């Protein structure tokens, strides 16, 4: 059983001594087969092998050698004969590759292949296996050329040819373009390179995969920070000299992900700087990837690490609210209040202001900030917007309430909380007109405003219902989607008011219902928020909605109604309708940006769909068997308005 707890103490752990198995295989215990080939040319598909030479070594000791001339089945070119000394007469009576290759594969069985310019030699070996219908054994391959480029400077050697390196490292055998001699020289070069790699912390086989990366030595030396980390989903925290949190990340395999920070795979300059400062890494193992993502988000919010760029300041999210006064107006606010119509949250105040401009473009809402009484004793002075027909000017009403403005405010409220189609239609008409007049910059600005409004309304209509749900329990078969593990169990998730309150994975083959009861009992207590704001970071609620929308999710328990309008902002999230409207106006072949990048998954404020994979909890009672495909029933219309499950959101 697990209840989510991400306090500062969650990342602490007792001292841990890593085992040798976790560190990897020491190079002294690895059996290498250093191989070299002589061929009739450079094309592996068309050429043939004339000689194979190999040396088996472990811990600096030669265990055996393999050498054989090979009949390539084709003439040896004259320039190859001059280079290698292998003539047609020498290979005429040599065995065919069909006889030599099985012997070599047996010689190299369960070893690591090494070659100088390995793609050439391994390429020919693979081509021969394919030609003879032999499966390629899948050797781990080490190439001494990139290692030499990493370790040998131009001041030491003019190039990285085998003969040059053999001379530099005083190899006991000089390469002479004969397979066995070249393989023996490569053995000496390999051991010399290992001597240079050891001070850099490359002492295990697993380290060789990235040893040729152009990684600063001070970064590579910190590879030991990944030792002892778990191979499981979770969160990792890089900590500095004062134990301060520098960076928080998440992965389905903590150890593998942390190791990548010390290789050339990490290209971010700021993160490389962070690794130089880091003193240790603290893991927080999680039951599921979803829990890891949520923990990461919460720990970033708690510690505000200087090397994390996202999600550090949830208080900076903005909402657009319709004010509660006699003549309502739109306002960009940092929080929500009960009873008011809101859309958002937006990732920035600028994006929220774009949504406000969209509504002002479509509706004659007042834009002044003064509080206007229901009935003024003396008429006000109408503003320029009223003269342009873009404001109904309730400030000039003196004989009674301006009832026409009430209709405008109600239209705005419906667009914010229900169907935004009138706003989308009005703005798409304007975009089409501007495009027809070739005023493309203005059309792009209106498109940007429309996109901000639709995404803000869509997000509020998705987050709000989940935020108002006191408890939702869902399950998904483990081992599918992004969840690692053996199929058969169930991921159980408890959500309260849009916040992850508990999660765990049931034992494969056992009924998950006892775990469901235990999780509900031990889940975190969550105070109800003011909807549509959730009781968590908005991005956490987005993660939960995305998980609920993943394939195989089954609803187990819902305490409150979880639904949203069928005719909601999600129907317009990709702005396809507006794009079609513009194409009609300016011609079928015209290009516009109305629909481009406007899908629900694009932009900082876009969120994925939710609930399409949700199903009735009856499937869960069957235990670890195959989930049924029966969809949950659609609720009856409520208050004269059709509602649907979260599929419509």
Residues annotated as catalytic are 177
The helix-helix angle for 421-436 and 403-417 (nearest 10°) equals 90
- φ, ψ (nearest 5 deg) of residue 504: -170, 175
Which residues, in sequence order, are CB contacts of 530 under 8 Å at separation 6+?
A: 335, 336, 337, 338
**SS3 label, residue 299:** helix
- φ, ψ (nearest 5 deg) of residue 397: -75, 130
Contact 396/375 with Cβ under 8 angstroms? no
**Interstrand relation of 31-39 and 112-115 (parallel, antiparallel or unpaired):** parallel
Closest to 395 in 3D by CA, of 421, 374, 419: 374
Tokens standing for residue 572: 């317009």
* Residue 638: count of CB within 10 angstroms of its CB: 10
C-alpha radius of gyration, the chain, whole number: 34
Q: Which residues pair with 38 in a beta bridge?
A: 51
Distance, in Å, from the CA atom of 247 to the CA atom of 225, rounded to the nearest integer, reads 14
Contact 260/207 with Cβ under 8 angstroms? no
Distance, in Å, from the CA atom of 496 to the CA atom of 512, rounded to the nearest integer, reads 20
Q: Which residues pair with 56 in a beta bridge?
A: 33, 64
Distance, in Å, from the CA atom of 364 to the CA atom of 356, rounded to the nearest integer, reads 12
* Residue 13: count of CB within 10 angstroms of its CB: 11
Tokens standing for residue 373: 């009484």
Q: Does residue 99 come out as left (phi exceeding 0), alpha (psi in the -120 to 50 range) or beta? A: alpha
Which residues, in sequence order, are CB contacts of 6 under 8 Å at separation 6+?
A: 284, 294, 295, 298, 299, 302
Find the helix or strand (DSSP H, E) in which 126 lies: helix 118-131
Which residues, in sequence order, are CB contacts of 157 under 8 Å at separation 6+?
A: 164, 165, 168
Contact 465/564 with Cβ under 8 angstroms? yes
Q: Rounded to 5 degrees, what angle do the CA atoms 555, 561, 562 make?
A: 55
């Amino acid at each position: 059983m697990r209840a989510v707890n991400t306090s500062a103490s969650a990342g602490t752990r007792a001292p841990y001594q890593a085992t040798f198995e976790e560190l990897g295989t020491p190079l002294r215990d690895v059996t290498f087969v250093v191989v070299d080939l002589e061929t009739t040319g450079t094309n592996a598909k068309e050429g043939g092998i004339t000689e194979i030479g190999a040396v088996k070594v472990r811990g600096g000791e030669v265990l055996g050698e393999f050498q054989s001339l090979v009949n390539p089945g084709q003439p040896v070119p004259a320039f190859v004969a001059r280079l290698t000394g292998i003539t047609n007469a020498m290979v005429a009576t040599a065995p065919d590759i069909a006889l030599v290759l099985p012997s070599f594969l047996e010689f190299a069985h369960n070893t690591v292949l090494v070659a100088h310019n390995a793609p050439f030699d391994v390429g020919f070996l693979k081509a021969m296996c394919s030609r003879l219908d032999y499966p390629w054994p899948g050797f781990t391959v080490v190439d001494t050329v990139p290692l030499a480029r990493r370790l040998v400077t131009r001041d030491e050697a003019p190039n990285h040819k085998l003969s040059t390196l053999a001379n530099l490292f005083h190899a006991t055998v000089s390469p002479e373009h004969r397979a066995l001699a070249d393989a023996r020289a490569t053995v000496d070069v390999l051991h010399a390179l290992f001597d240079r790699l050891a001070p850099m912390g490359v002492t295990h086989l697993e380290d060789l995969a990235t040893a040729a990366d152009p990684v600063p030595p001070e970064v590579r030396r910190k590879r030991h920070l990944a030792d002892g980390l778990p191979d499981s989903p979770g969160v990792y925290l890089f900590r500095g000299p004062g134990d301060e949190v520098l960076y928080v990340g998440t992965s389905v395999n903590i150890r593998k992900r942390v190791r990548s920070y010390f290789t050339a795979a990490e290209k971010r300059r700021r993160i490389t700087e962070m690794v130089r400062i880091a003193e240790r890494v603290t893991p927080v193992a999680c039951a599921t990837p979803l829990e890891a993502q949520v923990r990461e988000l919460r720990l970033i919010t708690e510690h505000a690490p200087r090397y994390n760029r996202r999600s550090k300041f949830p208080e900076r999210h903005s909402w657009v609210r319709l004010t509660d006064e006699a003549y309502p107006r739109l306002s960009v606010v940092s929080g929500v209040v009960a009873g008011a119509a809101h859309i958002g949250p937006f990732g920035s105040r600028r994006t929220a202001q774009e949504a406000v401009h969209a509504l002002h473009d479509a509706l004659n809402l007042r834009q002044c900030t003064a509080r206007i009484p229901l009935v003024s004793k003396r008429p006000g002075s109408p503003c320029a917007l009223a003269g342009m027909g873009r404001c109904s000017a309730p400030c000039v009403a003196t004989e009674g309430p301006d009832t026409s403005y009430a209709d405008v405010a109600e239209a705005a409220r419906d667009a914010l909380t229900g169907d935004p189609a009138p706003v989308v239609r009005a703005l798409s008409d304007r975009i089409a007109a501007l495009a027809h007049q070739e005023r493309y910059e203005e059309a792009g600005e209106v498109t940007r405003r429309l996109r901000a409004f639709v995404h803000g309304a869509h997000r509020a209509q998705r987050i709000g219902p989940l935020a108002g749900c006191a408890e939702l329990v869902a399950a998904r078969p483990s081992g599918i989607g992004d969840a690692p593990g053996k199929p058969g169990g169930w991921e159980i998730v408890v959500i309260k008011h849009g916040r992850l309150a508990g999660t765990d994975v049931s034992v494969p083959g056992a009924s998950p219902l006892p775990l469901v009861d235990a999780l509900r009992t031990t889940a975190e207590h969550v105070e109800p928020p003011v909807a549509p704001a959730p009781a968590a970071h908005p991005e956490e609620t987005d993660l939960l909605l995305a998980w609920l929308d993943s394939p195989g999710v089954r609803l187990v328990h819902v305490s409150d109604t979880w639904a949203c309008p069928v005719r909601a902002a999600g129907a317009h999230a990709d702005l396809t309708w507006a794009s079609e409207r513009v194409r009609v106006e300016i011609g079928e072949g015209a290009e516009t940006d109305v629909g481009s990048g406007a899908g629900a998954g694009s932009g900082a404020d876009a969120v994925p769909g939710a609930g399409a994979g949700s199903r009735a909890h009856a499937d869960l009672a069957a235990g670890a068997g195959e989930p049924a495909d029966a969809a949950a029933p659609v609720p009856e219309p409520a208050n004269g308005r059709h509602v649907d499950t979260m599929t419509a959101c």
